[in-house]
Copies of this chain bind each other. A is one copy, B any other.
Amino acid sequence: MLTKQELEEFWAGAGKMYLNHISIDCVVFGFHEGQMKVLMLKSNNEEAWYLPGGFVQKQEPIENAADRILKERTGIDEIFLQQFHVFGDPDRSKVHNEMYKDMLPAEKNFFAQRFISIGYYALVDFFNVIPTPDDFSEVCTWRDLNDLPKFQLDHELIFKTALDTLRLQLNYQPIGYNLMPKEFTMPELQKLYETILDKKLDRRNFQRRMLGFGILNKLEATRKGGAHKAPYLYSFDLDNYQAALKEGLKSGW
C-alpha cells in the first residue's frame, strides 16, 4: 500500500491520466403497424449516418443522460430504455480523428481523445416522435430496417448488438406497453412480435402463450370496423407487467 504522500500524488496524477469521454449511443427502434425503423442522423458534410447520442455530464446519473438525450431527439419522455453494452475500443473515433486532424490543432481535436460509449436501446411508437437533428447534423429521420444506410464509426456494431439483445430479451421480458395503444387486439400485439423477430408466429399458440404470462386483461369490447370477425380488445395489467419486467417470464434451472 502507498503512503499518504504517495497517495496524494497518485490522485493528483490520476485525475489527468484516467479521464475519459463518456458518451451514450442510443438505438431507437420505432414501431407502427407492422413496420420497424431506426432513428438516425446525418450531417450534410458526411455520407455516413449515426445513432442518436450525447455526452454524460459530470453530475448526471447515466440513466438521466440517456433520458435527456432521447427527449432532445424525439420529444418524448418515459421511453422504454435498456442499457445493453459498453463499447470502449480506443480506435472507435479514429475516423473522426483523421477527419479533423488537419482542421483543428491537436489540443482542440476532441476526437483525438478516447471515447467510451454506453449503448442503450429504446422502443417507441414512431408516430409519437418528432425527429429533431442535433448540433452536428441537419438530418434526423427514421430509416427502415431493410434499407439501412452506411454507418459512422462503430455504429453498425452497436445497432446489430442492440437488435440481437432485443430479440433475445423478448424471451424473458414482456414488451409492448409503450408501443401499443391502451386497448389493442391480440393480432395487433402478435404483429409487433413478428416485426421484431422478422418471422411469422402461429396465432393460436401466440395467444395461448401470451395469456399464460398473465399480463393481459381481456376486455368486453371488440374492435369493430375490420372486414372480418371482430377481435377482442386487451389491455396490459400494469401490476403484473411491471412484476414480469423485474422477474422475467420464464424460470431457469
CB within 8 A of A60: which of B6, B23, B59, B90? B90
Task: Tell me which residues across on chain B come within 8 A of A108, comparing CB atoms.
Answer: 8, 11-12, 15
Most buried by B among A22, A23, A56, A109: A22
Q: Is A127 an interface residue (CB 8 A)?
A: no
Task: Tell me which residues across on chain B come within 8 A of A6, comparing CB atoms.
Answer: 135
Q: How far is the CB of A55 from chain B (nearest CB, A)?
A: 4
Q: Is the CB of B110 within 8 A of A2?
A: no
Q: Is the CB of B11 within 8 A of A253?
A: no
> With the chains together, A6 CA to B136 CA distance in Å?
10
Residues of A within 8 A of B (CB): 1-2, 4, 6-8, 10-12, 14-15, 17-23, 43-44, 55-63, 83, 85-86, 88-90, 103-104, 108-110, 113-114, 116, 118, 133, 135-138, 167-168, 170-171, 193, 197, 201, 248, 252-253
Q: Is the CB of A170 within 8 A of B55?
A: no
Of all chain B residues, the one with the shortest Cβ separation from A4 is B103
Q: Is the CB of B113 within 8 A of A15?
A: yes
A/B interface sample: 19 pairs, CB < 8 A: A6-B135, A11-B110, A12-B110, A14-B21, A17-B57, A18-B23, A18-B55, A18-B56, A18-B57, A18-B58, A19-B20, A19-B21, A19-B58, A20-B20, A59-B114, A60-B90, A167-B252, A168-B248, A168-B252
> With the chains together, A95 CA to B90 CA distance in Å?
31
Copies in the complex: 2
Task: Tell me which residues across on chain B come within 8 A of A168, comparing CB atoms.
Answer: 248, 252
Q: How far is the CB of A234 from chain B (nearest CB, A)?
A: 19
> With the chains together, A21 CA to B114 CA distance in Å?
12
> With the chains together, A103 CA to B5 CA distance in Å?
11
CB within 8 A of A136: which of B2, B12, B116? B2
Of all chain B residues, the one with the shortest Cβ separation from A135 is B2
> With the chains together, A253 CA to B167 CA distance in Å?
9
> With the chains together, A85 CA to B119 CA distance in Å?
11
